[in-house]
Amino acid sequence: MIVSKSFRWSDRRARLALAALLLGGTTPAAADSSMLDTLQLHGFLSQALVITDRNDFFGPSSSGGGSLKFTEIGANASIRPHQDVLIAAQVLSRRAGGDGSDAKPVLDYGVVDYQMVSNQQRTLGAQVGRFKNPFGFYNQTRDVAFTRPSILLPQSIYFDRTRSLGLAGDGVSIYLEERLPQGILRTQVGAGKAQVGDDVERALGLEPFPGSLESQSSAIGQIRYEHDGGRIIAALSTASAEAEYSSSVAALDGGQFNFRPWILSLQYNAEKWSLTGEYAIRKLSLEGFDGFRNFNTTGESWYLQYSRRFLDDWQWFVRYDSLVSDRSDRSGRIFEAQTGRPAHSQYADDVTLGLQWTPVSRLLLAAEYHHIDGTGWLPTQDNPDPTETSRRWNMLLFQLSLRF
Amino acid sequence: MAWLRLGLLPPLLAALLALSWPSLAAADESPVLVAHPDVRTVRLTRDTTRAIFAMRQRTWPDGQAVRVHVLNNDDPVHGRFVKERLAVYPHQLQLAWDRMVFSGTGQAPTRVFSQAEMRERIANTPGALGYLEREYLDDRVQVISVE
């Protein structure tokens, strides 16, 4: 449970110091007590055990007793120095199969949020700083187990390979919420600089070369309609992220990478069950890499999920999730003929069954089973040689999550 | 099937969906919306009330900061208020709060552990908003009507 009350610290100085830190050096004397009452601290911790029969996912999951290298830890603080202003920041440490250095804490978001209009009809606001991208239903809080319907989000859409690209932008985002007679229409557009991590270079096969991808402009937009208090939710999201490769190898220098996804999201919520589906099209291109693999492909992903609550604090779900890397080569055979790498690396169909239990609101225990045909979203980091991967594989996950 | 051709399916589906959703008609014994006595707003639309309890709207219509107070998710009074007055479910509201709190788009409401504590907090916190069953009302809090 999110209990701001539990942070009514007796040590007022500590609160003042933290408030001053959040406000970027404002003297504590300037922060009055009613503002300090708005200070909130929250956090989460998740640890998973991943067991696979073939292929490795988030660490050496196919050997020994499985992999424990899937850990997510986050902490955030927020304060309202003025009735129209919210300042919020979160630090995230995430390890997903890599070595311990991957868990180095990073600034997940850090925003000043100003609402210029807020009345019974509408809210208009802006976020400046590093803002989370509203992409599909889950991207903004994709690393927080309590906000996910399952241990792993549907990998066809929320895969890890190029996660840094869509995570957050450094810039400005503007949102408008209109209250209509039957529901709420929420629009958000943002522009800024995308983050391009090592994951993208790895996914593009640029890792062996001397050079690096530098992010350029990125833009994101989402329009979301919530009907009748959230009984029906529909959203359309799009983004554009660009990066330029700079390298000492002349043929590669100046290469352009471009990523343009669209996602259509739909959800129906009843008291005891929800039906969720998302469909995505991803345009991905590499240009200007002379003599290297320039390409221009359109990938396609979708999933359909039914989840059901029972006995107050239990929930089970079933999901079918499908990814195709290149719509013009769904079976991957052309890819295999051209590259010698397996056809099954170009798609993935995943049938998942899962269970979640929340015995107390600060604790979430989850387990799920995946039967997967294809390795389309299998992390290359864990499986460096694609020819040694298996087409059909099974995965069992257990996760314990805490929050405050 | 003939009844399909008659176009009966949409109303049938609508009726089914309506059955599975909380009643919008608030019963008389539903908890009432209460605010700090100095709050100048005397009535809210249901949509605004929902936006405020979902922590999406942070101010009263006149611009004053709103301080939302709620009971525990498993408290029956919270359940009735959320279902009957806001027409949503407690787990949906919790998910909405989590999504705000962990994405930098909002804050969580202040949690109180009893209606007596709710009344104290509402009476003593400028801009406070919460809910109480009628027997817990007294003249230190003002009732806000929902249109």
CATH number at residue B98: 3.40.190.10
Q: In the structure, what pLDDT confidence band is assigned to residue A8 with cuts at 50, 70 and 90?
A: very low
Chain B environment of A311 (Cβ under 8 Å): none
CB contacts under 8 A, A 339-368 vs B, are 361
Does A177 sit within 8 Å of B51, measured CB to CB? yes
CB contacts under 8 A, A 303-322 vs B, are 309, 312
The verdict on residue B95 lying in a domain is: yes
**Helix spans in A82-210 (H):** 163-167, 198-204
The verdict on residue A88 lying in a domain is: yes
The verdict on residue A93 lying in a domain is: yes
For residue B17, pLDDT over 60 is answered with: no
Chain A environment of B51 (Cβ under 8 Å): 123, 177, 179, 184
Q: In the structure, what pLDDT confidence band is assigned to residue A60 with cuts at 50, 70 and 90?
A: very high
For residue B62, give the chain A residue with the closest CA: A119
The tokens of A108 are what? 């997940």
pLDDT of residue B23: 46
Does A127 sit within 8 Å of B105, measured CB to CB? yes
| Pair A309, A273: CB distance under 8 Å | yes
Chain A environment of B129 (Cβ under 8 Å): none
Does A88 sit within 8 Å of B104, measured CB to CB? yes
Does A132 sit within 8 Å of B56, measured CB to CB? no
Does B17 sit within 8 Å of A86, measured CB to CB? no
Q: In the structure, what pLDDT confidence band is assigned to residue B41 with cuts at 50, 70 and 90?
A: very high
- Round the average pLDDT of chain B to a whole number and report it: 85
Does A312 sit within 8 Å of B108, measured CB to CB? no
The verdict on residue B130 lying in a domain is: yes
Q: Output the domain CATH number for residue A159.
A: 2.40.160.10
The verdict on residue B11 lying in a domain is: no
| Pair A127, A212: CB distance under 8 Å | no
For residue A285, pLDDT over 90 is answered with: no
The verdict on residue B78 lying in a domain is: yes
Q: Which ipTM score applies to this complex?
A: 0.88
For residue A329, pLDDT over 50 is answered with: yes
Question: What average pLDDT score do residues A106-132 get?
Answer: 94
Does B109 sit within 8 Å of A118, measured CB to CB? no
pLDDT digits (tens, 9 = 90+) for A345-387: 999 999 999 999 999 989 999 999 999 999 999 998 899 899 9
B99 → closest Cβ in A86, A140, A361: A140
pLDDT digits (tens, 9 = 90+) for B83-128: 999 989 899 999 999 999 999 999 999 999 999 999 999 999 999 9
pLDDT of residue A159: 86
Q: Which residues contact A83 (CB under 8 A, 6 or more apart)?
A: B58, B59, B63, B64, B65
The verdict on residue A2 lying in a domain is: no
- Is residue A44 within 8 angstroms of chain B, CB to CB? yes
| Full domain range(s) for residue A392 | 38-403
For residue B86, give the chain A residue with the closest CA: A229
Q: Which residues contact B133 (CB under 8 A, 6 or more apart)?
A: B29, B31, B32, B77, B115
pLDDT of residue A277: 98
For residue A269, pLDDT over 50 is answered with: yes
Q: In the structure, what pLDDT confidence band is assigned to residue A48 with cuts at 50, 70 and 90?
A: very high
Report the candidate in A97, A50, A49, A46 with the shortest Cα–Cα distance to residue A74. A46
pLDDT digits (tens, 9 = 90+) for A203-234: 777 777 777 878 788 899 999 999 988 899 99
Does B104 sit within 8 Å of A76, measured CB to CB? yes
Q: How many CA atoms lie within 13 A of A81 on its CB side?
A: 20
| Full domain range(s) for residue B54 | 26-146
Does A110 sit within 8 Å of B104, measured CB to CB? yes
* Number of structural domains found in chain A: 1
The verdict on residue B34 lying in a domain is: yes
